[in-house]
């Protein structure tokens, strides 16, 4: 337990004790036990809340400006509730051109989502945060920016034509951090956008709905995958979930009802667990949980 945690816990206990004293003095005997119980529950909830905040403070132990992927998988938390309120869409573009997931053509994972932008389009910080990396990588991300946010996420914005922020700078959600471009390993101007927890990539579509320019909910529950494997659909030998989660990779021409019959999961259930609606446009290559 670090000093901050201890201070916050102590603050919680002090409040808790003060509340108990006040309750004892001010209320008539008959009501007191119930009220005290309620107050006690509130205080416990508060202490728990403070502990959750501290988890995020403690999640990233270091501040590394030199290495983008500097985390050990062993340090990835088993789960983390990510607060999505206070977001800003990284781009006003609604057009996702390539989803997250395994790309058989390149035999590698695409650990982000590609959104169509024109060179020179403004790219915005997704949440309040601090700039960890501003760098050029000729064969990969091109000009890119990595931000760390208080909600536990790190976001990456790649293939930029211009940087509009400096390393170690504090940024606000919606603040321009760069201009869209076509630098690095990119064919046609677009934004490659990644969302990660301690380096563990999350499908950005689970958090951001670009088509509707919105987040998928107030919070997103991140759960660490047991293995770095994804499932392409029923009938393949990989179609057994090692982490208790199964993914279906959307194919060209797929509809929700077709995916429903292929996966044996109802349309309503598919919508619910993927935080989409029946109207959401499905993109080939997109991963859906079932």
Residues at the contact surface with Zn ion, assessed by CB under 5 A: 112, 114, 192
User: What minimum distance in Å lies between the beta carbon of 126 and Zn ion?
Assistant: 16
Q: Which residues of 62-92 are buried (b: 16+ CB within 10 A; e: fewer)?
A: eeeeeebeebeeeebbeebebbbeebebbbe
Q: Which is nearer to Zn ion, 149 or 192 (CB)?
A: 192
* Dist CA 87 CA 126 (whole Å): 5
User: What minimum distance in Å lies between the beta carbon of 192 and Zn ion?
Assistant: 3
- Name the residue number minimizing CB distance to Zn ion: 192
Whether 131 contacts 147, CB under 8 Å:
yes
Q: Which is nearer to Zn ion, 196 or 246 (CB)?
A: 196
User: What minimum distance in Å lies between the beta carbon of 20 and Zn ion?
Assistant: 55
* Dist CA 131 CA 146 (whole Å): 6
Q: Which is nearer to Zn ion, 114 or 154 (CB)?
A: 114
User: What minimum distance in Å lies between the beta carbon of 228 and Zn ion?
Assistant: 17
Q: Which is nearer to Zn ion, 89 or 256 (CB)?
A: 89
Q: Which is nearer to Zn ion, 111 or 246 (CB)?
A: 111
Q: Which is nearer to Zn ion, 131 or 201 (CB)?
A: 201
User: What minimum distance in Å lies between the beta carbon of 159 and Zn ion?
Assistant: 8
Q: What are phi and psi of 211, to 5 degrees?
A: -60, -40
Place of tokens 């006003």: 92
Closest CA to 241 of 258, 254, 259, 229: 229
Q: Which is nearer to Zn ion, 102 or 290 (CB)?
A: 102
Whether 123 contacts 167, CB under 8 Å:
no
User: What minimum distance in Å lies between the beta carbon of 114 and Zn ion?
Assistant: 4
User: What minimum distance in Å lies between the beta carbon of 97 and Zn ion?
Assistant: 9
């Amino acid at each position: 337990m670090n000093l901050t945690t201890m201070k916050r816990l102590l603050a919680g206990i002090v409040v808790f004790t003060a509340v108990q004293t006040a309750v004892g003095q001010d209320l008539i005997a008959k009501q007191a036990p119930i009220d005290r119980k309620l107050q006690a529950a509130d205080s416990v909830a508060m202490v728990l809340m403070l502990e959750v905040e501290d988890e995020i403070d403690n999640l990233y132990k270091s501040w590394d400006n030199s290495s983008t992927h500097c985390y050990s998988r062993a340090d990835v938390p088993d789960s983390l509730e990510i607060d999505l309120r206070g977001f800003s869409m990284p781009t006003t573009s609604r057009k996702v051109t390539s989803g997250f997931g395994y790309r058989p053509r390149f035999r590698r994972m695409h650990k982000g989502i590609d959104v169509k932008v024109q060179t020179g389009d403004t790219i915005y910080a997704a949440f309040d945060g601090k700039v960890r990396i501003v760098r050029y990588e000729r064969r990969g991300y091109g000009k890119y920016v990595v931000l760390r946010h208080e909600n536990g996420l790190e976001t990456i914005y790649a293939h930029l034509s211009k940087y509009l922020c400096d390393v170690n700078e504090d940024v606000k959600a919606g603040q321009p951090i760069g201009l869209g471009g076509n630098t690095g390993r990119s064919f046609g101007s677009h934004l490659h956008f990644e969302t990660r927890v301690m380096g563990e990539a999350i499908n950005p579509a689970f958090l951001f709905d670009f088509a509707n320019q919105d987040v998928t909910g107030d919070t997103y529950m991140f759960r660490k995958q047991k293995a770095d494997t994804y499932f392409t659909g029923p009938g393949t030998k990989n179609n057994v979930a090692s982490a208790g989660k199964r993914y279906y990779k959307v194919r060209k021409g797929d509809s929700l009802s077709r995916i429903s019959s292929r996966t044996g999961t109802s349309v309503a259930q598919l919508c619910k667990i993927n935080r989409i609606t029946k109207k959401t446009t499905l993109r080939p290559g997109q991963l859906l949980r079932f």
